């Protein structure tokens, strides 16, 4: 599970350094992801992969200003990946659809299309 190990903010910009879980016995050590948000969290600028040594260097920096500048420099050195929100229900719908969870808009459209086809077939 990801854990936030570092947070630094200045003005409206905010950096988070999260650990990334890695599988044991793969030969890989701790890796980190550096996330950036702007406008007080309203705009998600993205995230970059940070190696274990660079992550440890960031954690070792003392002083808010120096840490923010180091995060900004590291974030600018790589192409950020887009932040994707995964809060919506994914996968195939189950029996609980519409009971435990709200009915998905895509499923409502499919049901309405099926009913329209059924009406046309009955009219013939």
Q: Provide the residue ranges of all domains of the chain, joining segments of one domain with +.
A: 4-77, 92-124
The number of C-alpha atoms within 13 Å of 35 and in the hemisphere containing its C-beta is 18
DSSP E strands in the chain: the ranges are 4-10, 13-20, 31-38, 43-50
What are 23-58's pLDDT values in tens digits?
A: 555 656 678 899 999 988 888 889 999 988 888 899
Task: Give me the tens of pLDDT residue by residue for the chain, a chain 124 residues long.
Answer: 678 888 999 999 999 998 876 555 565 667 889 999 998 888 888 999 998 888 889 999 999 999 999 999 999 999 988 877 666 656 666 666 666 666 666 655 656 666 766 665 666 6
The CA distance from 108 to 114, in Å, is: 10
Q: pTM to 2 decimals? A: 0.62
Beta-bridged to residue 15, according to DSSP, are: 8, 36
Residue 112: Cβ within 10 Å count? 10
Residue 109: Cβ within 10 Å count? 10
């Amino acid at each position: 599970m990801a854990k936030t190990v570092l947070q630094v903010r200045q003005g409206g910009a905010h950096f988070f350094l999260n650990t990334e879980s890695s599988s044991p016995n793969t030969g890989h050590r701790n890796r980190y992801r550096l996330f950036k948000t702007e406008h007080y969290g309203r705009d998600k600028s993205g995230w970059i992969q940070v190696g274990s040594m660079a992550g440890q260097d960031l954690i070792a920096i003392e002083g808010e200003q120096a840490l923010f500048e180091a995060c900004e420099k590291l974030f600018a050195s790589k192409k950020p990946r887009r932040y994707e929100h995964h809060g919506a229900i994914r996968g195939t719908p189950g029996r609980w659809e519409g009971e435990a969870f709200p009915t998905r808009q895509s499923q409502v459209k499919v049901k309405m299309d099926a009913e329209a086809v059924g009406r046309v077939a009955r009219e013939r």
